[in-house]
Amino acid sequence: MCGAPVDLSFKQISSLAGAWTEEPRTSLRPLKRNSEMKYQSRSLRLSNNDITELHDLQRPVRHFLAEPSLLAWLDLSFNKISHIDQVLCELRELRVLYLHGNSIFILSEVDRLGVLPHLHTITLHGNVIETHNTYRSRVISALPQLKAMDFSAVTSQERVMAKVWHHSNNRGRSSKKTLQ
């Protein structure tokens, strides 16, 4: 079931609602299909397109994958995505998520991905959020199970610093609330 990725990259896709009409790119590893002609893969590439919204993501996932609930690797890099949509949180088996080279500008939206229990690798570089001083600590704090971020291993020292950042940030918020 862990066949080659279903590759819909470089297809000029702007709307995920219509992505199901595309034919996946061919690769050296052939895509295997089941009796319903769905691909036996847990990986989907939608990189290098013109995607702006993710709310229709489930449609191509269900259309192409034999086991859509087992999607483990999703590449949405180099699109025009500006928000981390809640639909990503429904991908409970997701392990690898590439979002680099997009237009995500609200750092706190990364917190939504904390519900993904198996997410261990994420890329977010090349987004506006990368310019925040607390970018790496904030992401590691929100996703403590990460093993790699932006193609770089998460170190034990970074985990400690993320905990310190999280503790000091939350303490500051709670003391502000008691003063009001």
For residue 29, is it within any domain?
A: yes
Of 58, 116, 114, which is closest to residue 92 (Cα–Cα)? Answer: 116
pLDDT band, very low/low/confident/very high, at 43 (cuts 50, 70, 90)? very high
- Residue 109 in this model has a pLDDT that exceeds 50: yes
* Structural Rg of the chain based on CA atoms: 18
First to last CA, the chain: 55
Residue spans of beta strands (DSSP E) within the chain: 6-7, 43-45, 73-75, 96-98, 121-123, 148-149, 152-153
The tens digit of pLDDT for each residue in 144-178 reads 999 999 999 999 999 998 888 888 877 655 444 44
For residue 153, is it within any domain?
A: yes
pTM: 0.91
For residue 1, is it within any domain?
A: no
For residue 78, is it within any domain?
A: yes
Range(s) of the domain holding residue 140: 6-179
The number of domains in the chain is 1
What is the pLDDT, as a whole number, of residue 28?
82
For residue 86, is it within any domain?
A: yes
Q: How far is 109 from 132, CA to CA, in rounded Å? A: 13
What is the pLDDT, as a whole number, of residue 180?
42
CATH classification of the domain holding 110 = 3.80.10.10
DSSP 49: S
For residue 111, is it within any domain?
A: yes
The tens digit of pLDDT for each residue in 5-39 reads 999 999 999 999 989 899 999 888 888 999 999 99
- Residue bearing the bigger pLDDT, 164 or 120: 120
Give me the long-range contacts of 101-105 (CB less than 8 A, separation at least 24): 101/77, 101/125, 101/126, 101/127, 102/76, 102/77, 102/78, 102/126, 102/127, 103/127, 103/128, 104/128, 104/129, 105/129
What is the pLDDT, as a whole number, of residue 170?
74
Considering the chain, what percentage of its residues have pLDDT values greater than 90?
82
Looking at every residue in the chain, the average pLDDT score rounds to 92
What is the pLDDT, as a whole number, of residue 166?
81
For residue 43, is it within any domain?
A: yes
